């Protein structure tokens, strides 16, 4: 994902922020390209009958390694001290559910559709913020939320032969991804960004290991092992690109480029499986992107005038 909500910069802990926006944008776009290729790899591995639990296990193991390296390069084990284990657990479980649902979705529906639906998370964040963060939402943001939901319906095409359990999974991934963002906001007020990533990825690895033990392990065959290793390394590289991008550019500058993920997903789907998004998918994706960007801009304005705090956190 979605996730994607979304990142902070452990790299800032290493050497601070540097104003090199071109490099920041380039690495951020590189992160999106890798995400699209990782989605294609997930589908291919599942198509080769490897359990989703096994694919997720590789993802979490390699991501965990990345965060442990960052931890020992910066604050050390002292950075893992926390007084909020329950909040970490909620953030971690919602993140695992969101990622698992997204991976499942891309095995059932076109990758472009799944990616576009997953990027509806800002819409759900806005709604959930009312109940969980006690935020007040003005008319303009409510209209943006309504427009975003219309975009979701355009992609889902209920009653038009487009509905599939994969559509429901992608939409649910966006919803649980919104829960991740809400809890990241809560945690970022007192918790170390790298520690948040470590707790999430280590818990994900442990739970997926248990899932694999219960459902059965399928030993990678021949060249499939290289595909698994490439997937794991790609996950680590994607995290690194994302980290570097926020080191060199501000989140407000990078936010508009995030929706290029939908375009890259469409390209990957076409190149590998000949998937051509229908017109309603393109229109729905554009509506979701416009809605998300409007919500982001409004939130940035609230931050500017001191009406709310919008932390940057790592996933």
Query: What burial class does residue 59 get, using C-beta atoms within 10 Å of its C-beta: 0-12 exposed, 13-18 middle, 19+ buried?
Result: buried
Task: Please give the pLDDT value at position 159.
Answer: 54
Rounded distance, CA 127 to CA 289, Å?
17
Task: Please give the pLDDT value at position 114.
Answer: 94
Task: Please give the pLDDT value at position 17.
Answer: 55
Task: Please give the pLDDT value at position 231.
Answer: 94
Rounded distance, CA 231 to CA 44, Å?
11
Helix H or strand E segment including 146: helix 139-156
Let me know: does 59 contact 230? Beta carbons within 8 Å: no
Task: Please give the pLDDT value at position 274.
Answer: 95
Let me know: does 289 contact 259? Beta carbons within 8 Å: yes
Residue of 17, 73, 313 lying closest to 192 (CA atoms)? 313
Let me know: does 101 contact 167? Beta carbons within 8 Å: no
Rounded distance, CA 178 to CA 5, Å?
7
Taking the CB of residue 189, how many other CB atoms lie within 10 A of it?
10
Each residue's pLDDT expressed in tens, for the chain with a length of 315 residues: 444 334 444 444 444 556 788 999 999 999 999 999 999 999 999 999 999 999 999 999 999 998 999 899 888 898 898 989 999 999 999 999 999 999 999 999 999 999 999 999 989 998 888 888 788 888 888 999 999 999 998 988 765 555 679 999 999 999 999 999 899 888 888 888 888 989 999 999 999 999 999 988 999 988 899 999 999 999 989 888 988 888 888 877 888 888 999 999 999 999 999 999 999 999 999 999 999 899 888 777 766 655 444 443 334
How is residue 233 written in tokens? 């390394």
- For the chain, give every domain's residue range: 10-304
């Amino acid at each position: 994902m979605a996730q994607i909500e979304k990142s902070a910069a452990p790299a800032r802990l290493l050497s601070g922020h540097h104003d090199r926006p071109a490099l920041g944008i380039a690495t951020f776009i590189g992160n999106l390209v890798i995400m699209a290729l990782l989605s294609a790899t997930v589908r291919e591995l599942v198509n080769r009958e490897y359990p989703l639990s096994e694919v997720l296990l590789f993802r979490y193991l390699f991501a965990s390694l990345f965060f442990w390296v960052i931890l020992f390069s910066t604050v050390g084990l002292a950075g893992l001290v926390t007084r909020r284990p329950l909040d970490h657990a909620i953030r971690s479980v919602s993140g695992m559910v969101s990622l698992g649902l997204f991976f499942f979705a891309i095995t059932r529906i076109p990758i472009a559709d799944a990616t576009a639906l997953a990027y509806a998370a800002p819409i759900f964040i806005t709604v959930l913020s009312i109940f969980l963060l006690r935020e007040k939402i003005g008319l303009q943001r409510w209209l943006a939320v309504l427009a975003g939901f219309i975009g979701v319906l355009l992609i889902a095409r209920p009653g038009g032969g487009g509905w599939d359990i994969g559509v429901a999974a992608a939409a649910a991934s966006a919803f649980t991804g919104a829960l991740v963002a809400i809890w990241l906001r809560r945690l970022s007020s007192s918790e170390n960004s790298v520690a948040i990533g470590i707790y999430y990825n280590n818990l994900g690895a442990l739970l997926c290991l248990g899932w694999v033990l219960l459902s059965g392990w399928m030993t990678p065959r021949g060249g499939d092992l290289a595909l698994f290793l490439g997937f794991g390394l790609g996950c680590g590289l994607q995290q690194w690109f994302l980290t570097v991008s926020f080191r060199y550019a501000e989140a407000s500058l990078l936010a508009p480029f995030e929706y290029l993920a939908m375009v890259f997903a469409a390209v990957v789907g076409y190149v590998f499986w000949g998937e051509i998004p229908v017109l309603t998918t393109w229109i729905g994706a554009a509506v979701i992107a416009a809605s998300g960007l409007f919500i982001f801009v409004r939130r940035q304005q609230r931050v500017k005038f001191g009406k709310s705090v919008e932390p940057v956190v790592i996933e």
